[in-house]
Structure 1
């Protein structure tokens, strides 16, 4: 079972804030900006309050405040200053910090408040690219380094999914401008990282195309069924961890032999595409390095 983390090592703080552990120790020793707990062996441990304070201090420091000045501010003044310096330029960094705090505290209200403030200044597309993508990447790193638990990662991911679904629903009632073109979006067998695919579905529908969204862990046999109902299909497969580097070329060859036997097209995106040998690429197969890269050809 995964235990929810509410006590952090100095390495966790480094991962969460981007401030080196050595610098945190100096700030703590010289300026008393944090109040760690100590184990019997004198190892520093920090609670959520210390984490939140350091995130705020980091934002102030990144905007030109010297740590010597920050250390003299009252506990109440620091968050006030943070709010005062938030602008379009700094909103991205503040929002990511706020979303991380929402994640650490399982605080839906903070997530929604931060999101709604961003949406009052940006389009949903800008929020996704400027804030959600960097946040997702950072959350992945925090999980890999054991700074956060699966519970934290699932909590924040599902809230982001919720926002993608809400925005997708808003455009689903619009008339389909390009009825002759159908995009079928899916994740391959054993692939569960769905956020990127969900957002692609939103972008493609926003441009007026018809999409068939199949979702996670779809075997090749299942996508064959769609071909009985539609012509001129573009299949979009998002490969984050599957098919693995050893099997990805076999997967592409199987797609060619079993799916691309008519005028269908296959587009692949995600980290695993880096392992596809270009000798397997034909005119009806395209590889994309990013969501922006793919949506730019629509």
Structure 2
């Protein structure tokens, strides 16, 4: 794939001016040049930059990291995977290396690394600091046509499996109390945030009815009428017309007037919407956790 230096910035998190300094001082990357002397990069440049970032996060000086060959980087990173540094610096290491394993379809390395992160930091911290940033970066790469859809499906499938395993490890709630109904509208298919919300609610001891993706309104009505539901939760991820979305929200609010309805996802879109009196939105995992634990989920 052909990349600009701005693409490298977006995909690696390293500012353009920093990449240029690393090139000039340390020969970190050797960009391709067109006949008109325009610089460009490819997927090998991206992988090398991601590895440099990982090495730097692991405590290696930039000058040293940039001087390593590809084989030397691989050798060093293999050692780091076995004894990864604790603390915030390690999270970017995980994201970078998971992305590398994912674009190579290396399921074993990807799974081992993600399991290691979960064991060290727990599923909630891993989702917040690693899984979610990874999926965001992956989504950007997909939208820019810098990876094929198969990469996105491959990585998402493994993340989904890990979340399902975590959910299955929790006991089903049999206590009395609020019931949450989780779903995605019938034109939404990105269920990973919904799965994580299910894990969070179940870990707090709530009963969850999980309908999953692409749920028609009639199916939602049937599930609601057949059970005693207190809260509805859904995500809006894809871009859509504001008026069309507003009509959908109004329909939800009118159809389920006695339920508390929570939504999250596309912050730019949601900011343009008028929410019903029984609707609330949240913009982060911490905010949702506070909403649930602070009384709104009771």
**Mind listing any 5+ residue stretches in structure 2 that lack a counterpart?**
none
1:225 to 219, 222, 239: 222
**TM-score, normalised relative to structure 2:** 0.81
CA deviation string 1:165-198 (max 9, x = no partner) = 1111111xx2424334221111113112211111
Distance 2:206 2:217 in 1: 23
How many correspondences in the alignment?
A: 284
Is 2:32–2:40's contact at 8 Å kept on the other side of the alignment? yes
| Aligned residue runs from structure 1 range 120-269, under 5 A | 120-171=119-170, 174-241=171-238, 244-260=241-257, 263-269=258-264
Cα deviation, 1:194-225, whole Å, max 9, x if unaligned, reads 11111111111222222111111222222110
Contact 1:191 1:241 in 2 (8 A): yes
Q: Structure 1's 286 and 188: CA in aligned 2 closer, same or farther, altered over 3 A? A: same
1:87 corresponding residue in structure 2: 85
**For 1:97-122, what per-residue CA distance to the aligned partner results, in whole angstroms no more than 9, with x for missing partners?**
11110121111112112112212311
- Report the structure number with the largest CA radius of gyration: 1
Paired residue for 1:3?
none
Q: Describe the superposition over 1:231-266 as per-residue Cα deviations: whole angstroms up to 9, x where unpaired.
A: 243111212226642223222221232222xx3332
The match for 1:4 is none
In structure 1, list runs of 5 or more residues that go unmatched: 1-6
Does 2:48 match 1:59? no
Q: 2-side partners of 1:239 and 1:17: how far apart?
A: 26
Q: Does residue 280 of structure 2 align to residue 286 of structure 1? A: yes
- 1:238 is paired with a residue of what secondary structure? strand
3-state secondary structure, aligned to 2:242? coil
Matched, 1:103 2:102: yes
> 1:165 & 1:142 partners in 2: Cα distance?
25
- CA distance in 2: counterparts of 1:125 and 1:114, whole angstroms: 16
Q: 1:146 deviation in Å? A: 2.4
CA distance in 2, matches of 1:134, 1:152: 16
Kept in 1, the 8 Å contact 2:185–2:215? The answer is yes
SS at structure 2 position matched to 1:106: coil
Aligned mates of 1:149, 1:117 — CA distance in 2:
27
Question: 1 CA distance for matches of 2:195 and 2:51?
Answer: 32
Equivalent residue number for residue 46 of structure 1:
42
Deviates more, 1:160-169 or 1:286-295: 286-295
In 2, Cα distance between the equivalents of 1:192 and 1:218? Answer: 10
CA contact (8 A) 1:237 1:269 kept: yes
